[in-house]
Amino acid sequence: MKKIIALLICMIITLLYPKMGYEIASTFSQQFGITWNYIHHLVQFALALLTILIFLRIRKDKSISDFGFNLKNRKWSLKTVLNFTIGWILITTIFNLIFTFKNHVSFETNGLNIFTSLFFDFIITPISEETLFRGLIFSLLLMFFPGKLRIGKFSVSYSVLLSTLFFSLAHIGIDYQNLTIIYIDFIQLVFTIGLGIFYAIMREKSQSLLGPMIAHGVSDGVIKTVQLIIP
C-alpha cells in the first residue's frame, strides 16, 4: 500500500508542479518565450525544494543530503561528465547536421537573447529539473523501491527506472481537462529516456545531484549552442 501511495504522490508531483509553473509563467509572460521559460522553471524548482523541506520537517531522520544536495564522489562525477561531454558534442553535432534544428531557435539572435537562452539551458534548467526529478522524486522512490530489476547479468534499480518514467512523462504535452496527449516528439522522447536513465544512474552511484545537474546542463546547453552555430 505504501508503494502505491508513493507512486501516486510522484505522479501528482510530476503532473502538477510543471503545470503550476506553466500557469504562473503564462500569467506574466508570452508562452514559451525566454522570460516564460525562466518563470516556469523557477516556480517548478521552488515547489520541489519546498516539498523537500516540508518532508524533512516530518522525517527528522532524513537530511538535505539524502536528496542529493551534497558533494559526495565529486571526482567521479566530474570525470563522468567530462567523458559524457565529449561524446555528447559529437552526437549533437552529427544529429543536427542530419536533421537540422534551426526552427527550434525561436528568438532574435542578439547578444542578450543568446546569453539569457544559454544561461537558461546550462544553469536554470538542470537546477530546476534535477531538483525535481533526481532530487525529490528519485529520493522518494529510493525510500520505497530500494531493490533492483535483474535480467541475466544486467541489473538496474527500480528508482532509476521509475524516476526516468516520470521524467519522460513530464516531456509529453497533456490536456488535463480531457486527459489526452496533445503533444509528443518521439525523437525527443528517446533522448529523454536515455538521458533520464543516465542522470539517474549518476545520482544513484554518486549519491549527489552534482553530476546529474552538470550533465543535464551540458546536454541542453550543447544542443542550443550547436543550433546557434550550425546554419
Q: Which of 79-88, 90-99, 127-136, 158-167 shows the lowest per-residue confidence on average (mean pLDDT)? A: 90-99
pLDDT at 180: 80
Residue 87 pLDDT level (bands cut at 50, 70, 90): very high
Q: Which of 66-75, 102-111, 122-131 shows the lowest per-residue confidence on average (mean pLDDT)? A: 102-111
Query: Domain tally for the chain?
Result: 1
Is the pLDDT score of 186 beyond 90?
Answer: no
The residues, ordered by sequence, that sit 6+ positions from 49 with a Cβ below 8 Å of its Cβ are 131
Query: Which range marks the domain in which residue 134 is found?
Result: 2-229
User: Are the C-beta atoms of 162 and 203 separated by less than 8 Å?
Assistant: no
pLDDT at 23: 94
Q: Please write the tens of the pLDDT for every residue from 122-176.
A: 999 999 999 999 999 999 999 999 999 888 888 899 999 999 999 999 988 877 6
Helix (H), strand (E), coil (C) string for 89-126:
HHHHHHHHHHHCCHHHCCCCCCHHHHHHHHHHHHHHHH
pLDDT at 105: 64
Residue 231 pLDDT level (bands cut at 50, 70, 90): low
pTM attached to this predicted model: 0.93
pLDDT at 152: 81
pLDDT at 191: 92
SS3 50: helix
- DSSP character for 31? T
